[in-house]
């Protein structure tokens, strides 16, 4: 980087780079080295959510993600691929949850006007979305692999659109039903703390987050199967131009 060059950039208005927008309350702004050329190995997503909206299940194949809650409240859920556990961590203003590189995760807003900052240790965050995997994988492969009815698989997955990013979609085919279900889902996200023995500090100053359980289920849920990780270049998702983040 030539810091004497007239093209050197030291500031940028992240509000001017909205890469996904569901509506005025649910959208994502992005900052990467493409917008600010002095960033080096840092990038971020500025995420705004209303209650019960979800940053869809996904993983980042090139970066870890530190999620900082600016306002509102959310639950960050992730699968630990070394233990096959589904873990849930609530964040409120000033709190963070860390998602290691390549780990399957999602975020659910539990109140309106939730504002999250997702910080990445990569110049450009890459992502593979659950909606892309569901729409790209042939229905007959899913049906055959898991002994399912192919017609029902096709019917169930037909509404799924690649590049969903924030769900449920604005044009959800059953808005009344979805709204009620999402409200109930958010109401069930009040944390319940399960007792645990004190844990020693891990190397490099990392300390495990406190144990919590959600959705009326035990804190640890078994997940049978490892996350699928493959390299994928650029900001695009596995679906190609449909992705923006």
Q: Copy the structure tokens of residue 138.
A: 């042939």
Phi and psi at 68, nearest 5°, equal -110, 130
Query: Given this structure, which CATH class describes domain 14-126?
Result: mainly beta
- By C-alpha distance, which of 15, 232, 9, 11 is closest to 127? 232
Terminal CA-CA length for the chain: 25
Question: Per-residue confidence of the chain (245 residues) as pLDDT tens digits?
Answer: 899 999 999 999 999 999 999 999 999 999 999 999 999 999 999 999 999 999 999 999 999 999 999 999 999 999 999 999 999 999 999 999 999 999 999 999 999 999 999 999 999 999 999 999 999 999 999 999 999 999 999 999 999 999 999 999 988 765 444 455 444 444 444 333 333 333 333 333 333 333 333 333 333 333 333 333 333 333 444 444 444 44
Q: Copy the structure tokens of residue 179.
A: 């709204």
Strand partners, 135: none
């Amino acid at each position: 980087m030539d810091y004497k060059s007239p093209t050197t950039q030291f500031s940028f208005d992240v509000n001017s780079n909205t890469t996904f927008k569901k509506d005025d309350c649910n959208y994502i702004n992005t900052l990467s080295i493409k917008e600010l050329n002095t960033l080096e190995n840092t990038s971020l997503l500025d995420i705004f959510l209303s209650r019960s909206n979800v940053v869809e299940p996904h993983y980042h194949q090139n970066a870890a993600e530190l999620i900082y809650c600016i306002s509102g409240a959310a639950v960050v859920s992730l699968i630990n691929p070394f233990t096959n556990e589904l873990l849930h961590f609530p964040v409120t203003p000033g709190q963070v949850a860390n998602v290691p590189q390549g780990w399957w995760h999602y975020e659910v807003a539990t109140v309106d006007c939730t504002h999250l900052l997702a910080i990445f240790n990569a110049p450009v965050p890459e992502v593979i979305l659950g909606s892309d995997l569901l729409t790209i994988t042939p229905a007959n492969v899913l049906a055959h692999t898991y002994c399912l009815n192919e017609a029902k698989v096709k019917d169930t997955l037909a509404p799924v659109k690649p590049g969903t990013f924030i769900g449920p979609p604005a044009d959800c085919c059953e808005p009344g039903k979805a709204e009620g279900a999402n409200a109930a889902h958010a109401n069930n996200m009040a944390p319940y703390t399960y007792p645990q023995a004190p844990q020693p500090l891990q190397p490099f100053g990392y300390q495990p987050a406190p144990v919590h359980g959600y959705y009326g289920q035990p804190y640890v849920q078994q997940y049978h199967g490892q996350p699928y990780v493959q390299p994928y270049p650029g900001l695009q998702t596995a679906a190609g131009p449909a992705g923006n983040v």
